[in-house]
């Protein structure tokens, strides 16, 4: 089956009906024409109207099954009228309830003939119930049934009666139910069996509508299904989350359909967020009514507490499949479901943009739906634009360009593909040009829902990331502006508006980035200076060059390399709210006295070696980025910038003229000092020892050969990077940095040893000793390590089994190492590269969690049949990697 990730709103799903099923089921009332029904009941009223038939009708109706029951006693005339004929012919299932007096009714017999004709001509399903009569009595009528047939012969044409007799014989041969043989005649049991059978036959009809042009969803379903433990003695809550338009609802519908046949009770409540927003006063009660009525018929809910009571009573003894679509608030969820309200074995599926909803619900399994790959995107786009899986050759290039603008977002792909279907080439080109700047209107409308749900501070962070492409250092600016980034970033991440990567870097989907930029653009489409953020170079330059700056502008980015250009102080005179300024290669001139009072971030890349501005004192500065600049430690800008006593980040990456760090004594609150790739830097100024707040120190690829003993004063240091330096030895003070979490020593090819006390680094999680070619032995290592990279020239390694948290171990160029020592039992990944003398492992059989082993350029191991045999015995599958080595996985 072909499936896609599209959101339900594309398919005009209705949530306003009193029935939770309306519009989303394949046989729902939305598609009804005239008298179209799921089930047609044919019965003799005097026998069963107020008893069995009424009970069966009510039970079917409570399941959302559309039932027609013909009160044939009210019929007049000799022929079946067009309305009744339509009801029979357009029903999926007919159930004749053949009772003792059924045969005496001419109308019942006419209906029977007609529904059997529909069985033959339309493959209609006929499920007869023999109510207090036996099939043999119907096949060969005796007693009162015979008398009824004989009575008809006196009043009707012989051919008609003969047809009725043939119909009775035919129906008696069909598989149905005898009421007296089901649970000793208990009619409730029979009704339950019939309802279950009808639901089974109508499974396709009552499953949710899922689009036809689907791509990539089967793997998602398989992943979720594989996580479900059939032996689990409780209620499963499955949560699907992701950004708007990513396809959460479609995936959940497909999953719902997968589970459908395993349950007698089903409930689908569509567009919960929209229903609540439409009427916040009655919204929760409306959702409660939908949920309750789906398993027990219509109900009235006077208040939310009563709704909870009714939900508990209706679901307590029912194994149910429940799907709540688009829940945006965990507070709302507590009025709708709780795992303890449902019978064991129930499954609750929840879709949301906010992962916190699922965390609050203690979901058993959460699944984040991500973007489609480019290849999947192209297939989905082609299905909508060309009705096939690939574009025609003359549209191939432009199709690739259009798909690239969507960022793998299914909603955007479908909307744009459908719009461009059968359009002229000039429309394609115009659309592509627009999409590179602005999302499609329908896509933007969908994405804007999430933005609108944010608070003011979260919106400011969102817009900064979208317009300025900021990453982790931005938290310092946001914190100083009272945007509370700790909470804000978490909210944005939970709502799938940003992604947080390793070491805290942030990223945003291109469609969301374009949305944020469009929001700012619409602040004032005609006058850029009246917008809060300017990031388009030409617009920002025009505002500066023509002194148009206003108090509206909070961020100004002049990202192009402007070598030789100068910006006079007067151009910034009216920008009293400017908190972010980015320039590249330019210089500042004039008197900045009392200017830039709110500036928190100055990104001055490639700034020149001369400093000509006067009174340049941005006192609120917290981030100063001077990377790739020509400045030295004697640069005249250091003195005026020393007044930025609140500075938290100083980025001097790639400043090739620096030979010694400047005096940093006034920056006592500094937390990040980046000196990476300062390839001529040889010395750290003594003021480094007073930076007690320093969290991150990067010295990689500098000419530093020695770290001062005073580095032990940096008791808050968490990240230390000395990768690629000429350091020959390390001070014992390193062992006192108890908060150190990441330490990169790789590429220190002059380093011969490590301090013996590094085992005291109790917070250290990641240590890289790659390419330390002169390292002869290792001391005892910190027990908290989770990732360890080793290059060591000794014949042995220290005991690694005590590293109880280690899950990744990489041995690289350990040329003299002969045996891998006992490994920790939590290990997941083991990589061995260029360890030519290594011949054996010690305790592989104990590593139950080990999933991946790679061996490359290590001849003794690669050529050993014993190793391959041992790995196969442990359940590993063997394959060859691209470098000719071996990979074992399980």
Q: Which residues are catalytic?
A: 111
Q: Are 39 and 60 in contact (CB under 8 A)?
A: yes
Q: How many other CB atoms are there within 10 angstroms of residue 867's CB atom?
A: 23
3-class SS string, 855-867: EECCHHHHCCHHH
Q: Are 417 and 427 in contact (CB under 8 A)?
A: no
Alpha helix ranges (H) inside 469-559 = 474-480, 485-494, 510-521, 537-545
d(CA 855, CA 813): 12
d(CA 420, CA 425): 9
Residues 519/523/524/530 CA torsion (nearest 10 deg): -120
For 462, the enclosing helix (H) or strand (E) is helix 456-468
**Strands (DSSP E) found in 627-670:** 649-651
- For 378, the 3-state DSSP assignment is helix
Token pair 């830039």 is found at: 596
**Strands (DSSP E) found in 708-795:** 719-721, 742-744, 766-769, 787-790
d(CA 429, CA 217): 30
Q: Are 843 and 870 in contact (CB under 8 A)?
A: no
Vertex 131 angle, CA 128 and 136, to 5°: 75
Residues 528/533/535/536 CA torsion (nearest 10 deg): -10
Find how far residue 572's CA is from the centre of its chain. Answer: 43
d(CA 307, CA 336): 8
d(CA 698, CA 649): 12
For 255, the enclosing helix (H) or strand (E) is helix 248-259
Q: Closest Cα to residue 124, out of 115, 133, 132? A: 115
Find how far residue 272's CA is from the centre of its chain. Answer: 18
**Strands (DSSP E) found in 513-616:** 533-534, 555-557, 566-568, 580-584, 587-589, 601-605
Identify the DSSP state of 408.
T
d(CA 324, CA 338): 12
């Amino acid at each position: 089956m072909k499936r896609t990730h599209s959101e339900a709103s594309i398919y005009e799903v209705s949530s306003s009906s009193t029935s939770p099923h309306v519009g989303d089921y394949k046989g729902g009332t939305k598609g009804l024409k005239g008298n179209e029904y799921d089930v047609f009941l044919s019965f003799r009223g005097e026998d069963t109207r107020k008893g069995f038939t009424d009970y069966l009708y009510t039970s079917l109706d409570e399941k959302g099954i559309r039932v027609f029951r013909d009160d044939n006693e009210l019929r007049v005339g000799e022929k079946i009228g067009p309305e009744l004929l339509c009801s029979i012919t357009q029903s999926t299932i007919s159930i004749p309830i053949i009772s003792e007096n059924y045969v005496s009714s001419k109308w019942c017999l006419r209906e029977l003939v007609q529904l059997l004709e529909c069985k033959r001509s339309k493959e209609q399903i006929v499920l007869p119930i023999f109510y207090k009569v036996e099939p043999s009595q119907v096949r060969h009528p005796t007693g009162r049934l015979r008398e009824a047939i004989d009575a008809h012969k006196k009043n009707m044409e012989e051919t008609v009666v003969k047809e009725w007799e043939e119909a009775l014989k035919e129906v008696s041969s069909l598989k149905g139910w005898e009421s007296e043989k089901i649970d000793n005649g208990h009619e409730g049991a029979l009704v339950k069996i019939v309802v279950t059978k009808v639901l089974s036959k109508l499974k396709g009809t009552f499953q949710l509508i899922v689009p036809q042009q689907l791509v990539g969803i089967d793997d998602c379903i398989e992943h979720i299904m594989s996580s479900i433990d059939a032996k689990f003695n409780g209620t499963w809550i499955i949560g699907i989350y992701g950004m708007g338009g990513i396809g959460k609802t479609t995936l959940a519908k497909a999953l719902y359909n997968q589970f459908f046949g395993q349950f007698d009770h089903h409930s689908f409540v569509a567009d919960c967020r929209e229903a609540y927003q439409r009427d916040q006063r009655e919204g929760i009660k409306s959702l409660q009514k939908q949920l309750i009525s789906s398993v027990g018929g219509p109900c009235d809910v006077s208040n939310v507490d009563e709704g909870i009571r009714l939900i508990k009573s209706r679901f307590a003894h029912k194994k149910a499949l429940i799907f709540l679509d688009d829940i945006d608030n965990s507070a709302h969820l507590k009025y709708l479901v709780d795992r303890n309200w449902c019978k064991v074995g129930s499954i609750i599926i929840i879709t949301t943009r906010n992962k916190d909803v699922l965390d609050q619900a203690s979901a058993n399994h959460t699944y984040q739906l991500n973007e489609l790959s480019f290849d999947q995107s192209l297939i989905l786009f082609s299905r909508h634009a060309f009705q096939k899986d690939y574009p025609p050759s003359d549209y191939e290039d432009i199709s690739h360009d259009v798909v690239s603008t969507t960022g793998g977002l299914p909603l955007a792909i479908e909307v744009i593909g459908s719009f461009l279907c059968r359009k002229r080439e000039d429309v394609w080109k115009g659309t592509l040009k627009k999409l590179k700047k602005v999302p499609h209107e329908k896509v933007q409308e969908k994405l804007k829902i999430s933005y609108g749900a944010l608070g003011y501070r979260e919106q400011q962070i969102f817009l900064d990331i979208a317009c300025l492409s900021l990453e982790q250092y931005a938290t310092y600016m946001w914190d100083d502006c009272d945007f509370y980034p700790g909470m804000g970033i978490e909210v944005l991440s939970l709502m799938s508006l940003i992604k947080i990567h390793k070491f805290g870097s942030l990223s945003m989907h291109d469609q969301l980035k374009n949305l944020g930029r469009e929001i700012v653009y619409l602040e004032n489409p005609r006058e850029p200076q009246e917008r809060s953020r300017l990031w388009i170079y030409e617009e920002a330059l025009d505002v500066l060059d023509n002194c148009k700056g206003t108090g509206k502008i909070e961020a100004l980015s002049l990202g192009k390399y402007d070598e030789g250009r100068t910006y006079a102080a007067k151009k910034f005179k009216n920008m009293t709210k400017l908190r972010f300024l980015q320039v590249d290669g330019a210089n500042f001139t004039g008197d900045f006295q009392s200017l830039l009072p709110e500036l928190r971030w100055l990104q001055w890349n490639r700034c020149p070696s001369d400093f000509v501005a006067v009174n340049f004192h941005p006192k609120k500065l917290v981030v100063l980025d001077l990377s790739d600049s020509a400045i030295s430690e004697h640069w005249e800008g250091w003195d005026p910038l020393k007044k930025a006593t609140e500075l938290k980040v100083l980025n001097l990456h790639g400043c090739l003229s620096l030979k010694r760090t400047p005096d940093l004594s006034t920056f006592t609150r500094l937390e990040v000092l980046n000196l990476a790739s300062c390839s001529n830097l040889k010395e750290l100024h003594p003021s480094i020892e007073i930076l007690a707040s320093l969290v991150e120190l990067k010295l990689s690829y500098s000419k530093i050969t020695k770290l001062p003993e005073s580095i032990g004063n940096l008791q808050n240091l968490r990240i230390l990077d000395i990768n690629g330096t000429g350091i020959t030895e390390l001070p014992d003070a390193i062992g006192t940095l108890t908060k150190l979490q990441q330490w990169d020593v790789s590429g220190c090819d002059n380093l011969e040893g490590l301090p013996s006390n590094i085992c005291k680094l109790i917070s250290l999680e990641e240590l890289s000793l790659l390419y330390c070619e002169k390292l002869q032995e290792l001391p005892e290592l910190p027990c908290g390590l989770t990732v360890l990279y080793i290059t060591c020239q000794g014949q042995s390694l220290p005991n690694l089994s005590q590293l109880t948290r280690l899950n990744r171990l990489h041995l690289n160029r350990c040329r003299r190492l002969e045996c891998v020592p006992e490994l920790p039992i939590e290990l997941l990944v083991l990589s061995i590269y260029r360890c030519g003398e290594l011949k054996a492992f010690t305790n592989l059989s104990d590593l139950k969690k080990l999933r991946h082993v790679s061996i490359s350029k290590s001849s003794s191991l690669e050529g050993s049949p014993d190793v391959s045999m041992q790995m196969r015995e442990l359940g590993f599958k063997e394959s060859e990697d691209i470098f000719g080595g071996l990979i074992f996985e399980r």
